[in-house]
Structure formats: structure tokens, C-alpha cells
Amino acid sequence: MKKRKILTIVLSIVCVIILFMVVINVIPPKYSIDNNPFISTNGTMLCAHRGGAIQNPENTMKAYKSAVEDYQADILETDLWMTKDNHLVLNHDGKLNRTTDIALFEGDSYDENKDYHIGDYTLEELKKFNFGYQFELNGERPYKDLTTLDNPNRNQIIKNNDLAITEFRDFLDYFYQNNKDMLFIVEIKNPGQKGMEAADIMADLLINVYPEYQNRVVIGTFNDEIEAYLKDNYPTLLRGASTKVATSFIITQLLGVNIFDNASVACLQLPMKQSGLDLTWDTYISRAHRRNIAVQYWTINEEADMRNLINKGVDAIMSDDIALLRNVLDDMNK
């Protein structure tokens, strides 16, 4: 009799747990945001990662113009750093070593083991560097000999070829004048106070200068403190999930308790795998969509991966090889 009573209690608890799980997965979750332009309504969108770093010098206006004009990019992705004199500029790793001709300027004093940071230079000082100098295409460096160090028109030549450092304001302004329907993914790279100052500059531009872009730019960061700063101070701006927010989302989906995830982000930007965990499960995508959160994957440069993600119905693929992605999208759309 006692064993039967215990069994009854256990079964009752199990039934309650099952019922609870069914109910919380049936109840429609609250939308993260009401209107989300990053949710695709016409197939997977092409996102030019760094402007398409395989086809053109990354994070340059040459790359971004080409991404739109030659490859019909739907979204442009870039990274942002603060200069020494507090200008917000486009650059990925915040260093000049990998992409520019800084070694020529430094001459014998150049140290290949030293990092030459964007933040150590003013905007005017950065304008002298050729950001296409080390770019390679088909084994050649097409912009290596664009101009000489002593050319009095050096800065203008670099700018005319769209290979100069690009200020975020100028980046937005060009597409604001030429393509108001463009979507953007931008990432604040600076941590701490500098990252917050970057957020302030960005917010001022989107709210006061280019208001039509306020709901077409999603701001991402790997720094949880910057994500929290944006959420607290600029709640009308669209945000991508920080590492902490994305991790919380994944865990709640794995446990089947996604109704308790309270992220207020527009986009979930994920790699295909992280720490051995497959992040491309259909449930991640469908449950994100239930909350009106767009799902975007980075950085996808292999055709098989592109086709797999397109078949899963992801909202956007971020790729360096936008020529390949354009061909795959056009082929699958047929």
C-alpha cells in the first residue's frame, strides 16, 4: 500500500512536469520586438561580412559599394573602433598591421611583433594609410602600388579609390543618400568607457541625423556591459544578442523553457558550432522566429554550409565570399 502511494505521488509529479512543459511550449511567447526588418520574408538574405573580404579590401568603401552594386547585398556588416581623437571608424581587429602599409611609414623602426592600434592615431593620421595595401586577389596585390609615400596627393588618391579609413558617419551618409532600404549589422569593438562613447556617437547619428536608419541598423557587441548600456540608455535602437544573451537563449531552448527567455534583441547572430555544440538545430531557428528574432550565421564561406543554412530557412548568412553566396542564392532560388 505504501509503495503504491509513493508511486502515485511520483506519477502525479511527472504528469505535472509534463503538463507544465507542454503548456509553456504551447503558449505563444512575447515578441522580442514588434517590427523586425531583419526577419526575412523572401528567402535568406545576403550579408556582406566586412563588405565581402574575399572580393575586396575589407571594411573599405570599395568593398561596401561593390557588395551592393555587384552582388546585390541585402545587409552590410562592419566593425567599429574609436580613434585617438574619438571618431568612430570602420575596422575589424583595431590594428593597422594586417591590412595597411604602416610598415613602410615606420621603416626600420617597424616591429612586426608590435600591434599598431587604431586607437593610437587620430582620424587625420589614419587617412594617410592605404587600407587596400595588403589585400590579395588571385595571388596578386592589386592596390599595393596605388601611390607612393612621398606623393603630395597621396591622401586624396587613396580616398578617390575608396581605400581610406572610413568614418562611420560617412559610411551611413553614403548609403543614406543612395540606398535608404539598406540594412546594417554593426559591432562595437571597444570595451569599457570607449565602447560606451562609441554607443553614444552611434545613437546620436541614428536618432538625430539619419532617423530613417534607426530601425535598419542592428548593433552588436561581444561585451555584455556595452549591450547593457545600449539597452538601458537607447532602448529604441535595435540590438544583436551579446555573448551572454545568446548563451541564455541557447540554454533555454535546450531545456525547452524558452518562454522564460526575456531577451529584447532583434537578431541572434551565431556560428554554426560553438564548443562542439551544433547551433543550427531547426528548433533554435523556429523558436527564435516565434519571438520575432532574426537568426543569422557567421562566417560562412563554404558552399555546402550555405546550402544547408538556406534550406533551414535562416534569415541571413554572413559571408566573406559574397560572389559564391550570390551564386548559391541565385541557383537555389531557381
Q: Identify the structural domains of the chain with CATH numbers, from first to last.
A: 45-93+165-333 (3.20.20.190)
Note the pLDDT of residue 18. Answer: 47
Q: What does DSSP say about strands 217-220 and 267-270: parallel, antiparallel, or unpaired?
A: unpaired
**Cross-strand bridge partners of residue 317:** 46, 297
- Hey, CA dihedral for 35, 49, 154, 87, is it positive or negative? positive
CA 195 from chain centre, in angstroms, equals 16
- Hey, CA dihedral for 245, 247, 249, 255, is it positive or negative? negative
Place of cell 544547408: 308
Note the pLDDT of residue 22. Answer: 43
Show the cell assigned to 15. 504528469
Distances (CA, A) of 213 to 8, 118, 208, 311: 60, 26, 10, 30
The H helix count followed by the E strand count for the chain is 12, 11
What does the alpha-carbon distance between residue 326 and residue 322 come to, in Å, rounded to a whole number? 6
What does the alpha-carbon distance between residue 312 and residue 213 come to, in Å, rounded to a whole number? 29
HSE (CB half, 13 Å, CA atoms) of 283?
A: 12
What length does the chain have?
Answer: 334
**Closest by Cα among 189, 188, 283 to 239:** 188
**Closest by Cα among 49, 41, 76 to 313:** 41
Cα angle 301, 304, 310 (rounded to 5 degrees) comes to 90
Show the cell assigned to 84. 585617438
Note the pLDDT of residue 245. Answer: 77
* pTM attached to this predicted model: 0.89
- pLDDT of the chain along its 334 residues, tens only? 555 666 555 555 544 444 444 444 545 556 668 889 999 989 999 999 999 999 999 999 999 999 999 999 999 999 999 999 999 999 999 999 999 999 999 998 999 899 999 999 999 999 999 999 999 999 999 999 999 999 999 999 999 999 999 999 999 999 999 998 999 999 999 999 999 999 999 999 999 999 999 999 999 988 889 989 999 999 999 999 877 777 777 777 766 656 555 667 999 999 999 878 888 988 888 888 988 999 999 999 999 999 999 999 999 999 999 999 999 999 998 7
What does the alpha-carbon distance between residue 260 and residue 286 come to, in Å, rounded to a whole number? 16
Contact 269, 299 (CB under 8 A): no
Q: Among the residues of the chain, which ranges form H helices?
A: 2-26, 61-69, 102-106, 123-126, 154-160, 168-178, 192-204, 224-233, 243-254, 282-290, 303-312, 322-333
CA R_g for the chain:
23
Cα angle 301, 307, 309 (rounded to 5 degrees) comes to 85
Note the pLDDT of residue 251. Answer: 75
